[in-house]
Structure 1
Amino acid sequence: MSRNKSVLLGCLSLIISVAVAGPEWNILSHRTKDGLSISLRNYCESWRMNVELHNIREFQVVPEECVGYIGKYVTSTQYKVDSERAIEEAIVYLSTSCNLEKDGKDAWIFDIDDTLLSTVPYYKKQHFGGEKLNLTSLEEWMSQGKAPALENSLKLFNEMKARGLQIILVSSRREHLRSATIDNLVDVGYYGWTSLILRGPDDELMGVQNYKTEVRKQLIGEGYRIWGIVGDQYSSIEGLPRAKRTFKLPNPLYYVS
């Protein structure tokens, strides 16, 4: 009987030690393969960075142990600074490397969600990417037209407009959201674009990257010179034909292929 008590006490001790250790207990046993001691914050920052480097792909949810960290990041000054730096680089490129012909065919492509408009308010209610995407729920939120502008992107948008570029919005939003999308964009300061291209029923049969490359083929076929693309997903900027330059905004909340 005493032996059983000892075993029971040992198990209880292990359970208590795990509980006290909290969410960091299972993160690589607190060490990297090189023996470096790490924390939960180190692990989650590394995960986020490798998403941005495109080493981590096709993830469906943010790792449960990193949800809090990702939530803090996308609502932080650091997220705004990271976005601002990307936009500033686009402005430098526009100012120094774009020999615009100003014949109505100089173009720039913008994605919409988390490029011009922020979906962070929606994902805040969805465990900051910790829950699988519910497209119906997301589209219901989009239809309300309450997404705020990303301020740095609005600055770039207005810079493009002032320089006479044709601004083309290419989104994986579906066509039935056109009216709500236009109202939302105009309400937060985006107006004067050349065209807004959304996914029709036929486009839904292909992946987002293929859909967006097909749009670029069509635009180039119409004579447009695509000087740049800004997007938050690699599927918005990769594939052939390419723009002359692409700029990736940070987004560790979800992955679209």
Structure 2
Amino acid sequence: MQMGKLLGFLLLSSTLFIGLVAADWNILNQKRKNGVGSSLKNYCESWRINVELNNIRGFEVVPQECVEYIQKYMTSSQYKADSERAIEEVTLYLTSCCSLNGDGKDAWIFDVDNTLLSTVPYFKKHGFGGKKLNATSLEAWMRESKAPALEHTHKLFHEIKDRGLKIFLISSRKETLRSFTVDNLIKVGYHGWTSLMLRGLEDEVLEVQRYKSKARQHLINEGYRIWGIIGDQWSSFEGPPSAKRTFKLPNSIYYLA
């Protein structure tokens, strides 16, 4: 009888203990090591990966507890390695993909921000995704034409151009930023593209995905064959018409739908 009471007491105590632990558990309460605790690091890495997989969509800010982690990643050798691996896959694709007709209608599309030019210097000073994007502030920074080139894409850009493909730059930047964008691109070593397509007044009301889809359709209507697209946002690829292949570069700072 006493043994039964003891077992009952132990079971009740353990249940209460588990309940208290469960109620008290929170990702922010976990012990941190070197700034990012193992539990928090796993949580934030899972969040980042699911952004890249396009499972997490439409977020306006990086979860506050993950801002430090995203900053560490986007300024790390791992980000560079991940980007370079994507570029290696493009290079491999180029070895056998494209039967150029020599008629000047073979095309490749590049996004601009965080594909050719890096906005990391801006976000270092503006919350690294932890604050809602201030378009006015970002555009003021773009007017300075100081965005650095992304090294891993710079070489690829010229390799594709030298193969005889026409390069089209389709950016979600506004048409009012054209001169600043051109100056920036040329300043860091990009030249020889066929067209830079920016958002005019009639395009600003469109979602980025619809605007870029419309831009691709214009190229198709002009008789171009789009062999590939490389960008850092899923909205650069989604919607018809599609390219033969698409290549996604990592970017967990913001999401453009």
The Cα shift of 1:167 comes to: 0.2
Q: Please identify, of 113-122 and 100-109, the stretch whose mean Cα deviation from structure 2 is larger.
A: 100-109
- Opposite residue 70 of structure 2, the aligned amino acid is I
- Alignment check: 8 A CA contact 2:128 2:253 kept: yes
3-state SS, counterpart of residue 247 of structure 2: strand
Contact 2:209 2:236 in 1 (8 A): yes
Aligned to 1:129: 129
Q: Which residue of 1 aligns with 2:197?
A: 197
Aligned residues of 1:102 and 1:165 also touching (Cα < 8 A): no
Report the structure number with the largest CA radius of gyration: 2
1:29, distance to aligned residue in structure 2 (A): 7.3
Note the C-alpha offset of 1:26: 1.8
Identity %: 68
Match of 1:211? 211
What's 1:83 paired with?
83
**Number of the residue aligned with 2:34:** none
**Matched positions, count:** 227
Equivalent position of 1:155 in the other structure: 155
> Considering only aligned residues, what root-mean-square deviation do their CA atoms show, in Å?
1.4
SS in 2 for 1:155: helix
Instruction: Quote the offset at 1:95 in angstroms.
Output: 1.1
Indicate the residue corresponding to 1:110 in structure 2.
Answer: 110
The letter of the residue matching 1:39 is S
Post-superposition Cα deviations, 1:9-34, rounded to whole Å, max 9, x if no partner, equal xxxxxxxxxxxxxxxx621876xxxx
Letter in 1 for 2:199: R
**Which amino acid is 2:252 matched to?**
P
- Which amino acid in 1 is paired with 2:251? N
Structure 1, unaligned runs of 5 or more: 1-24, 31-37
Corresponding residue for residue 39 of structure 1: 39
Deviation string 1:161-192 (CA, Å, 9 cap, x unpaired) is 11011000000000010000000000001000
Q: Distance in 1 between the 2:29 and 2:215 partners?
A: 47
Within 2, Cα distance between the matches of 1:95 and 1:101?
16
* Alpha-carbon offset, residue 220 of structure 1: 0.4
Q: TM-score, normalised by structure 2?
A: 0.86
**In the alignment, what sits opposite 2:3?**
none
Alpha-carbon offset, residue 103 of structure 1: 1.4
**Do residues 146 (structure 1) and 150 (structure 2) align?**
no
Matches of 1:136 and 1:148, distance apart in 2: 20
List structure 1 segments (4+ residues) > 3 angstroms apart after TM superposition: none
User: Partner of 1:50 in structure 2?
Assistant: 50
Q: For residue 231 of structure 1, what is the amino acid of its counterpart?
A: G
Letter in 1 for 2:237: I
What residue in structure 2 maps to residue 224 of structure 1? Answer: 224
- Asked if structure 1 preserves the Cα contact closer than 8 Å seen for 2:233 and 2:255, the reply is yes
Question: Quick check: 1:169 aligned with 2:151?
Answer: no
Distance 1:29 1:80 in 2: 31
Give the aligned residue type for 2:43: Y
- Please give the alpha-carbon distance, in whole angstroms, between the structure 2 residues aligned to 1:100 and 1:68: 46
Gaps spanning 5+ residues in structure 2: where?
A: 1-24, 31-37
Aligned to 1:19: none
Q: Quick check: 2:107–2:168 contact (8 Å CA) kept in 1?
A: yes
When normalised by structure 1's length, the TM-score is 0.86
Alpha-carbon distance in structure 1 between the residues aligned to 2:104 and 2:159: 16
Per the TM alignment, residue 102 of structure 1 is displaced from its structure 2 partner at its CA by 2.2
Q: Distance in 2 between matches of 1:239 and 1:150?
A: 26
After superposition, the C-alpha distances for 1:216-240 in whole angstroms (9 at most, x for unaligned) are: 1110000000000001000001111
CA distance in 2, matches of 1:241, 1:41: 38
Counterpart secondary structure, 1:97? coil
Equivalent position amino acid for 1:155 in 2: K
Deviations 1:33-64 (A, max 9, x none): xxxxx611111111100100111000000000
Answer whether contact 1:115 1:153 (CA < 8 A) is retained. Answer: yes
Q: Which residue of 2 aligns with 1:248?
A: 248
Q: Quick check: 1:175–1:199 contact (8 Å CA) kept in 2?
A: yes
Q: Which residue does 2:18 correspond to in 1?
A: none
